[in-house]
Amino acid sequence: MHRLPGLASLRRLNTSRPPDQTQRKAELVPSLAIRLLGPAYFPYQLTYLRLATRGLSVMRFVHIPAVCAVALILAASLVAGCARTARPLMPTPTLYQESAENELFAATPAERQATGLTLLYITNRSPMTDPESRLPYGESRSHLLAYGSAVVELGPDLDWLSVEQQSHLADRTSEVNLELGAVQELGRFPQEPYPVVVTSTGVGRSAPVVRQHEEAKAGFQAELQRYLAHSPSKEVFLYVHGFKETFASAAYTTADLCHFLGREHVCAFFTWPASTTGGFLTAYTTTTESAEYAVGHLRKTIRMIAQTPGVQGVHLLAHSRGTVLLVNAFNELALEAIAFGLDPAQHLNLVNFILMAPDIDVDVALQKLMFFESDPDLLTHWPSEQIPDFLRGRLTVYSSPGDRALGVSEFLFRSRSRVGQVGDQIPQERQKLVEAWGRFDLIVYKGTRTDRFGHSYFVSNPRVSSDLIALLRFGTKPGEAMRPLKQVGPVVWTFPED
């Protein structure tokens, strides 16, 4: 057991400027531009940039290739788009604002009616060794998988009655802030890669290391069962964050959703070493490879959760760049199940698979998710000509054509289309392809941005979060009472006009 430092008290970011600074444009010196993109992207001299008070406007470049100028604009936009420290509780979803029938905490056990939310975490981040650090884990990769508990406190100085009252209000009368409290690491898996032993018959796994693995797995599952004992739903939701997120910001988003799910589920998050420092392109490249590095760890995590006795369902959610990680891990787990003749839906105990503002190319996503249909020669023990069931609930994608942050990825990857930016004008043949599943929904939000870059609308926009909560908590289908969406295609739904 390892005790890690927590964020005892964090203040919200203060982005206000003094009046005299607000009235003038600030100059961005070359060193800042180089820090954003990295020196390798500036082979020529940069004279100066100007940063307007409302948005970035490039006033003059000298001898800079156009590709660098565009990249700088996009990079500077996204740098501030994802990483956060302490923050307010997400706005109240509309379904709790509008009707007393949708009582938020009606099924919440008494022991969960507290100002603190205890979350289960799994990570392959390295622990912070600096005693002055406010975060328990950093952005470096660890060569082992660790798990533990993290407490997110709702404050300041609120009792449960106050939290409950404020959680039903569209316009809150008191602040409700999220702060990271005690973080306790409870177990670790062996260092990777696991060593092997050479015998007279060949190469095999090390028996002592396998025993360590099994002990760590048993410890994790025992901890999960302890959470299940206090969960009304007996279901687990696992959140996978995106780029520029810290351990704390991942915990906050998990706590947001857990709170407005009525605290009925076991709430867990998988946090991986998404880069939050350095030049933007360097950080994004590092993050892309760290997401690849984390696939095996997430695969192990999902498998362990699904195979834990007492778990009655698993909901997998991912945001932004985390969707690539989740899609890859799911692809491998589904292939593993099918290869042994097992139905992935039952083997993985999977209810809902939800991708929010996915930072993944449309063609890549379809290739990953429809691998079985497109490969009749796949060697499996699958006993039927029918396509296996991959989940019991629905595969839901939330997208927004106004998502500014995904413009960076579209530019960097020369991507024809990012899943998180697709609108409702999808070709009918492409819709019919996925309609045959009978479980796929694309939810398109085209309304006003409720966060700076329109990338976190699943928590910042009460209408979108309401739709997500109705799906997860009540199993509501699109178009039903709690999800008043408009169907505009075989699998495409939009929100009614504001």
What pLDDT, in 10s, does the model give residues 454-470? 999 999 999 999 999 99
Q: Both tokens of residue 345?
A: 């839906």
| Per-residue pLDDT at 487 | 93
Q: Which of 11-15, 286-290, 387-391, 404-408 has the lowest mean pLDDT?
A: 11-15
Q: Which residue has the higher pLDDT, 423 or 13?
A: 423
CB contact set of 195 (below 8 Å; sequence gap of 6+):
206, 209
The reported pLDDT for the residue numbered 256 is 98
pLDDT of 144 higher than 70: yes
353, amino acid identity:
F
Residue 332 has pLDDT above 70, yes or no: yes
pLDDT tens digits along 345-366: 888 999 999 999 999 888 788 7
At 18, is the pLDDT very low, low, confident or very high (cuts 50, 70, 90)? very low
Taking 70 as the threshold, does the pLDDT of residue 19 lie above it?
no
pLDDT at residue number 265: 96
Q: Which of 43-52, 206-215, 397-406 has the highest mean pLDDT?
A: 206-215
Indicate if the pLDDT at residue 181 is higher than 80. yes
pLDDT value of position 133: 80
The more confidently predicted of residues 189 and 370 is 189
Which of 58-62, 74-78, 429-433 is least confident? 58-62
Residue 4: pLDDT band (50, 70, 90) is low
Q: State the pLDDT at residue 391.
A: 85
Mean pLDDT, range 263-285, rounded to an integer: 84
Q: Per mean pLDDT, which range of 40-49, 300-309, 367-376, 389-398 is the poorest?
A: 40-49
At 379, is the pLDDT very low, low, confident or very high (cuts 50, 70, 90)? Answer: low
The pLDDT confidence band at residue 85, using thresholds 50, 70 and 90, is low
Q: What pLDDT, on a 0 to 100 scale, did the predictor assign at position 9?
A: 37
| Residues 445 and 400: beta-carbon distance below 8 Å | yes
Average pLDDT of every residue of the chain: 81
pLDDT score of 375: 80
> Which amino acid appears at position 40 of this protein?
A
- The answer on pLDDT for 40 being more than 70 is no
The answer to whether residue 267 scores a pLDDT higher than 70 is yes
Q: What would the 3-class secondary structure string for the chain be?
A: CEEECCCCCCCCCCCCCCHHHHCCCEEECHHHHHHHHCHHHCCCCCCCEEECCCCCCCCCCCCCCHHHHHHHHHHHHHHCCCCCCCEECCCCCHHHHHCCCCCCCCCCCHHHCCCEEEEEEEEEEEECCCCCCCCCEEEEEEEEEEEEEEEEEEECCCCHHHHHHHCCCCCCCCCCEEEEEEEEEEEECCCCCCCEEEECCEEEECHHHHHHHHHHHHHHHHHHHHHHCCCCCCEEEEEECCCCCCHHHHHHHHHHHHHHCCCCCEEEEEECCCCCCCCHHHHHHHHHHHHHHHHHHHHHHHHHHHCCCCCCEEEEEEECCHHHHHHHHHHHHHHHHHHCCCCHHHHCCEEEEEEECCCCEHHHHHHHHCCCCCCCCCCCCCCCCCCCCCCCCCEEEEECCCCCCHHHHHHHCCCCCEHHHCCCCCCHHHHHHHHCCCCEEEEECCCCCCCCCCCCHHHHCHHHHHHHHHHHHHCCCCCCCCCCCEECCCCEEECCCC
**CA-CA distance, 455 to 450, in Å (whole number)?**
9
Whether 69 has a pLDDT exceeding 50, the answer reads no
| Mean pLDDT calculated for residue range 260-288 | 84
Provide the angle, in degrees to the nearest 10, between the axes of the packed helices 30-37 and 280-306.
30
pLDDT given at position 371: 73
The whole-number pLDDT of residue 83 equals 41
For the ranges 22-36, 41-55, 216-230, 369-383, the maximum mean pLDDT occurs at 216-230
What pLDDT shows up at residue 296? 95
When computed from its CA atoms, the radius of gyration of the chain, rounded to whole angstroms, is 23
Give the pLDDT score at 280: 67
Q: Which residues pair with 240 in a beta bridge?
A: 270, 318
pLDDT at 439: 85
> Which pLDDT does position 415 carry in this prediction?
64
- pLDDT value for 360: 86
pLDDT tens digits for range 106-127: 888 888 999 999 999 999 999 9
**1 pLDDT tier (thresholds 50, 70, 90):** low
- Max mean pLDDT range (40-54, 83-97, 210-224): 210-224
Mean per-residue pLDDT, 384-390: 79
- pLDDT for 386 equals 78
Cα distance between residue 403 and residue 448, in whole Å = 11
Q: Is the pLDDT at 333 greater than 90, yes or no?
A: yes
